[in-house]
Structure 1
Amino acid sequence: MAAALLTLAFVSPVYLTIVNAFKTQDQIVRDPAAPPAPPTTHNLSDALARPDRIVQIGLTNSAVTVVVSVLLIIPLGAALSFWLSRRSARLRRIVLAGFAAGLMIPPAVVLLPTIRVLTFLHLDHTYPGLVLANVGGGYLSFAVFVYSGFLRSIPGEIIEAATVDGAGSLRIWRTIVMPLLRPATATVTIFLSLWIWNDFMNPQFILGPLHGQTITTGLYLSVGQYSTNYAQLFGVMFLAAVIPVAGYLALQKQFIAGLTSGATK
């Protein structure tokens, strides 16, 4: 019973978003949980036809921010994890403890220092500053932990054989380690993409409302101060969820492989 209630609590927001994205304003106000009868696609077309282009601009900015951040975090996290795997156990524990602090400290605690650093670098209110904040935050710590755990499942004889053949560390990492880390990379990519895509606090405070927006801050701007067009708002929410869901479906096999590989070693 408890498991069913917990599942319902997680599924109900998804259900409400889907059904209300295809209902009129009156239907939503009258019964938000009822299925659309008849369904309509006007909410989606109205969301795409907004004069401020919140959906188009937000989706583009979010996609670019996610892609650039993940493309920087993955090689950095994989290279650092590979370097740690070849160091002494004591040094590895010390470095991983430092990265653990990056995961445990709430992002709100380090937001103000992050903004001060970006202001000093003249990167505040810019998308490069937002990407730099993503790379230097807890996202890199998560990537390092996933890659470090997965590297333990790779036999050391493979690395030793490549070293005996004369391959350098960079070549070993690029041609041997990274292909073997493909399942872990899919796991890191999915988690980081979802977290960065859904992030509201960093874009809101680092970019500011007058200098740009992602899809999450666009949703915030869609909520009126005195009245809200719920039909259009649910249409924006539905469109905002399409890209991350499609990305997960495309990488779900590698995602599951990455989780199970780490669990069996």
Structure 2
Amino acid sequence: MGVNVHRKWNKIIIFIICCLLFALYIFPFLLILINSFKGRLEVVANPLSLPSSFDLSYYIEAFKTMNYGAALINSLLVTIFSVTVIIVFSSMLAYFLVRWKWKINKFIFMTMVASMIIPFQAVMIPFVTIYGNIGLLNSRGMLIYFYLGFGVSMATFLYHGFIKSVPIELEEAAIIDGASRFQVFFRVVMPMLKPTTATIAILDVLWVWNDFLLPSLVLVNDNVRTLPLSTFYFFGKYTANYNVAMAALVLVLIPVLIFYFVMQKKIIAGIVEGALK
């Protein structure tokens, strides 16, 4: 009887702790949502209070000011193509580094792993200076190329460890049946990399979609700005429209939430399968 009571209290304590952690996690999002319906003075005076009225005019103003439609398309294009090229090139590179036992491959892999510890801020100034002088900035294509350069190391590192566990006998059987190396990779190996691919896709989608620093350095013109850059319209040198900015942040969050709810089962399945592997 005493053991059952002890287990019951343990469950209650764990439940309370989980509720507190959830409240701490959700509080910033609720604060943004609540203040997106308030006037600017009301936000400054009491940001923790409920809005006196749920006014959607701030969302309309944010939608127009940040040119939401164009910014959304830019963010979608940059995110989809960036994540796609990172996954394709990183998986192919990792496969090459694992299956071809060249001495230089170890050096290449260790160099890529070492590059992961270098923060972007350390190369930011020379990066902008060099590429700006040769006219390669202010292009969505170049931004995708830069994301490939900065994201390929981590993705290759994750794929490299997983490909080692793929039985080489499956590839040899496919080659005996007449498959080329590309067919072996895309039809035999790549389907087995789904857990790692799901993990990389989640991490990179969140990274690219929410990134502000790199696009702010590369994209200058208003017509190529992504959603995070568009939210900067509401912050001037001396003033800030906090309420409209909060509405803009909610608009930026909506596509990510839709992506998560649509892909929720696949995301969780991929993570669980990767953990079991």
Q: Which TM-score tier does this pair reach, normalised by the shorter chain?
A: 0.7 to 0.9
> Residues 12 and 71 of structure 1: is their aligned pair in 2 closer, same or farther, counting only changes over 3 Å?
same
2:207: which partner in 1? Answer: 195
Q: How does 1:1-265 map to 2 (within 5 A)?
A: 9-50=24-65, 53-88=66-101, 93-119=106-132, 122-137=135-150, 139-208=151-220, 212-265=224-277
- Distance apart, 1:2 and its partner CA: 8.8
Q: Give identity over the alignment, percent.
A: 29
> Residues 119 and 224 of structure 1: is their aligned pair in 2 closer, same or farther, counting only changes over 3 Å?
closer
8 Å CA contact 1:150–1:261 kept in 2: the answer is no
The normalised TM-score by structure 2 is 0.82
| Cα distance in 1 for residues equivalent to 2:37 and 2:234 | 17
- Distance apart, 1:77 and its partner CA: 0.9
After the TM superposition, which of the residue ranges 149-158 and 218-227 deviates more from structure 2?
149-158
The C-alpha deviation readout for 1:4-44, integer Å capped at 9, x for no partner, is 77655543322212222233334423332234454232221
| Cα distance in 1 for residues equivalent to 2:176 and 2:243 | 64
- Distance apart, 1:93 and its partner CA: 4.5
| Cα distance in 1 for residues equivalent to 2:110 and 2:276 | 23
- The one-letter code sitting in structure 1 at the alignment partner of 2:47 is P
| Cα distance in 2 for residues equivalent to 1:245 and 1:185 | 20
- Structure 1: gaps of 5 or more residues: none
> Residues 26 and 142 of structure 1: is their aligned pair in 2 closer, same or farther, counting only changes over 3 Å?
same
8 Å CA contact 1:69–1:135 kept in 2: the answer is yes
- Structure 2: gaps of 5 or more residues: 1-15
8 Å CA contact 2:198–2:271 kept in 1: the answer is no
Q: 4+ residue runs of structure 1 moved beyond 6 angstroms? A: 1-6
The C-alpha deviation readout for 1:52-83, integer Å capped at 9, x for no partner, is x4323322222211122122111101111222
Count of aligned positions: 262
> Residues 35 and 185 of structure 1: is their aligned pair in 2 closer, same or farther, counting only changes over 3 Å?
farther
The normalised TM-score by structure 1 is 0.85
- Aligned-CA RMSD value: 2.7
| Cα distance in 1 for residues equivalent to 2:248 and 2:165 | 43
- Distance apart, 1:227 and its partner CA: 2.2
> Residues 253 and 117 of structure 1: is their aligned pair in 2 closer, same or farther, counting only changes over 3 Å?
farther
| Cα distance in 1 for residues equivalent to 2:255 and 2:122 | 30
| Cα distance in 2 for residues equivalent to 1:91 and 1:251 | 39
8 Å CA contact 1:114–1:133 kept in 2: the answer is no
The C-alpha deviation readout for 1:107-133, integer Å capped at 9, x for no partner, is 111223333453465312222221211
| Cα distance in 1 for residues equivalent to 2:90 and 2:126 | 23
| Cα distance in 1 for residues equivalent to 2:90 and 2:239 | 45
